[in-house]
Each structure stands twice: as structure tokens, then as C-alpha cells.
Structure 1
């Protein structure tokens, strides 16, 4: 009998309903850029990050709690918000001890979907906090669903690459009978020596979109392991450092 917990990968929010989230740790993955920015803000001393699914809610809540309202729609700062979704907007001297209210096209939407589907526990993952995520998943000995935010339900490369990076590190501790996980790990092994170069060579859709906005610096940062190595845990409507 196999006593190891299971690990599955949902490559798009549109596939999330196929997985049992009730007793699982769900890892919300939105590498470019929501979960990279969440890790960075918390690493730089933010009190917490409150993910919301609409711009209106973001503005309203920010006003109520004197928070920093931030977010994007289609890669650009959303109208009515003060700040965008770039990790470089949240240095320690700006974000320390403050609350960030964040809404994004894909990442915060996926988090709320997982919540609605009864996720047992949620953390957020990206390359900047890769080790923290892997260490936590191994220590908990619980089933895991790696949830890729993708782009408007279409599978994207960078979230799959991060899922593959996690799998390659933790697979000995899990029972993995999941083709999506195998695909993610295979692609990661092809890409790991130069993630940015791989995204560039494949003209990945999100790479293409953000490069069009002149955001190469953001992309490179979001693909760099352990530069903001904290573990954001979702608790009572907020992401806090565990």
C-alpha cells in the first residue's frame, strides 16, 4: 500500500474542478507576476497581502483600511489603482508594515476559485520563493494540488515551469500519477539551465506580452529562485508569512 500523499497539477483554472481540493494544500502559481510580487512584498516586510477578485473591491477595501491598492488587468496598472503588479514597486522602505490589497487578471481569481472549491489550505508559489514552497510541502506530508493561474484559462509556460521545478525537488515524497505533472517536470528539465532564454526561444505568450511593455527586468526577476524566500499562507482572507 502506498502511504505517500498525492500530488497533482492543474495547468489551468479551467481544469481545477477536476481535482479534489478538500484535504489538499493548494499552491497558487502566477509567476508573471502576482505570486512573485506577493512573495516580494511579504519578504520586504509587508504586514499582509489581501487578494481580491475585482478592482472595485480593491479600491473600497484599500480606502477602509488605509491599504496600498494595487493590481493589473491585461498586464497594465488597472484604472483607479495606485500601483501595479511589479515586484519592483514594493521595496522595504515603501511596503514595510503596510497592507497591500492586490487584484490581478489571473492569480487572485484562481485563489478565490480554490477557496470556493473548499481548498484545505492555500499557499502561493513562484520562483522567488521556490525553496520555501518545496520545504513546506515536504514537511506537511499532505496531498498537494499545484494550481497554475495560466492566462485567461489558457495554459502558459512559466506557471508550468514552476510546477515542474517544484515536482523535480519534491517528487520522492509524493505519489504522482498525473500526466500534467509529468509534462511540467519534463518541460522544466529542458528549460532549467536558462529559464529566461527558454521563454524567449519559445516566444512564450506572457513573455511576449510583458516584453511588449518593456518589462524584461520583471520577467528576469520572476524567474530567479529564492530572491524572496518566504512562505505566503492564506488565512482569514489574508496572505501572511508563515
Structure 2
């Protein structure tokens, strides 16, 4: 039976173990990196390139004409000078047909650290049902590793909730063996109905609320609004398929 593992933060990723065996990785950063990535692709982005830091993003942007890409990023939840803040509601206005170069404190780092897995999916509340549907077709002989990006070394309430949502979507398709951490996320999700209130009550959610970004919180709390299945392929996030949920 396929096993589902759960890591609570990006600092728990061991890259030497990621490459071992048949692993399918799913990365979650609900506020906001993976939500922003999924939203941008839904809104017509050509692709998304997750980078490790500001300097890598700036160097990469030099390979594009100004009208071909959007440079977005934050560091410790603060805007990076010269970058668009990685808000799905801001980016959607101009992303159609462009590449999003994205640098964030947690989510893009988690993606890069996971890149050696057999397959890396990008998930959020927006597309968890589609991710679960796609995974069930490819994982009979694989291990599923769900990675919560966390918040600078700390557990993230919203990622834990998002992982629980994804696990519920998975177990609705077929039977899996769950680690205790995966079970804990599932039980937590099943006991909490209102996604928006959970996100608003999280540490990052409170910061977004403070800076009047409730619109982004509402986007991030929108369950199953898109059927796109993004994967990380050769350093770029692209839409692998649109799954019929």
C-alpha cells in the first residue's frame, strides 16, 4: 500500500533522501508561494521559476525582456526592493502570457530542495482535489511525501491545514497508509470547516490582515477552484495537465 509521509517545514527536507527510491513530492505554502504559483498559472502565466533568493532572481530576469516576465518576491514577509509583492491578486493583473520569477522565504526554497524527486507537484487549497486525482494515477509503487514549507523554521498552521485537505482528497480516491503526522493533519483538517478563518488566525494570516491583504487570504482559502496540476520540471513550474475532478 502506498505510504503518505508529511514534513512540517522545509528545514526537515533531506535532499539525499529525496533522491532515493520512487518519491512523489507535493509542496504546500498556502500563504502564499504555492497559492501564488497556482493562481498565476490559472490566470495565464507561461510558467513560474522558483528561485532561492533575491540575487538569483535578478540574474535570471536579465535573460528576459522586461515585458516577458514579472519579478516577484518577499523576504521574511517584507517586500523586496524592485520586486512585485508575490500577491495573487496583484500578479493576476499583468501575468497573462508571461514568466513569473518568484523568490520567497519558504515556498520557493522548499521547491528547490525537493527538485530531485521523481515528480514534484505544486499544491494549494485552490487545486488540492486536482493534485490528488493526478497522484492516484502514478503512485502505486511510489512514496508520497507532502512537504509543508513552514515559516522560517516553525510549523505553519495554514500549511498543516492545507496538507490535511490534500490528504482527505487523496484518501477519498483510494486507501493509503498514513504516518502519524499525516493522520494528525487529516484529523485537524476534518475538525476545522472554515478555511478562511483558519488562514486568518495563522501567524502569516494576521500579518496579511494587518497590511490589508484580506483579498489574498480569500483567494488562498478558495478550495478546489481550479483543476490545473502544476509540476516542477527542469527548474520551471508548468501545467502538466488539467485534471477533471
TM-score by length of 1: 0.89
- Please point out which of 5, 13, 34 is paired with 1:16: 13
Residue 150, structure 1, aligned to residue 150, structure 2: yes
Do the aligned partners of 2:24 and 2:119 also contact (CA within 8 Å) in 1?
yes
Q: CA deviation at 1:199?
A: 4.1
- Please point out which of 210, 213, 216 is paired with 2:214: 216
Structure 1 runs of 4+ aligned residues shifted over 6 Å read none
Cα distance in 2 for partners of 1:34, 1:96 equals 18
Q: CA deviation at 1:16?
A: 2.2
* Aligned pairs, number: 232
Q: CA deviation at 1:43?
A: 1.0
Deviations 1:183-222 (A, max 9, x none): 101110111x21222344xx32111222121111111210
Do the aligned partners of 1:233 and 1:241 also contact (CA within 8 Å) in 2?
yes
Do the aligned partners of 1:7 and 1:174 also contact (CA within 8 Å) in 2?
no
Question: Structure 1 or 2: larger helix share?
Answer: 1
Cα distance in 2 for partners of 1:10, 1:19 equals 15
Cα distance in 1 for partners of 2:16, 2:224 equals 28
Cα distance in 2 for partners of 1:161, 1:178 equals 16
- Call closer, same or farther: CA 1:49–1:24 in 2, change over 3 Å: same
Q: For residue 180 of structure 2, what is the aligned residue in structure 1? A: 179
Residue 113, structure 1, aligned to residue 113, structure 2: yes
Do the aligned partners of 2:3 and 2:179 also contact (CA within 8 Å) in 1?
no
Q: CA deviation at 1:105?
A: 0.8
Q: CA deviation at 1:113?
A: 1.5
Question: Structure 1 or 2: larger strand share?
Answer: 2
Indicate the RMSD between aligned Cα atoms, in angstroms: 1.8
Cα distance in 2 for partners of 1:31, 1:218 equals 11
Deviations 1:1-43 (A, max 9, x none): xxx2211110111222399433211111000011011011111
Do the aligned partners of 1:124 and 1:232 also contact (CA within 8 Å) in 2?
yes
Q: CA deviation at 1:120?
A: 1.7
Q: For residue 47 of structure 2, what is the aligned residue in structure 1? A: 48
Q: Show the 5 A alignment for 1:3-152.
A: 4-17=1-14, 20-22=17-19, 23-66=22-65, 67-81=69-83, 83-91=84-92, 94-115=94-115, 118-141=116-139, 142-152=142-152
- Give ranges in structure 1 of 5+ residues lacking alignment: none
Q: For residue 166 of structure 2, what is the aligned residue in structure 1? A: 166
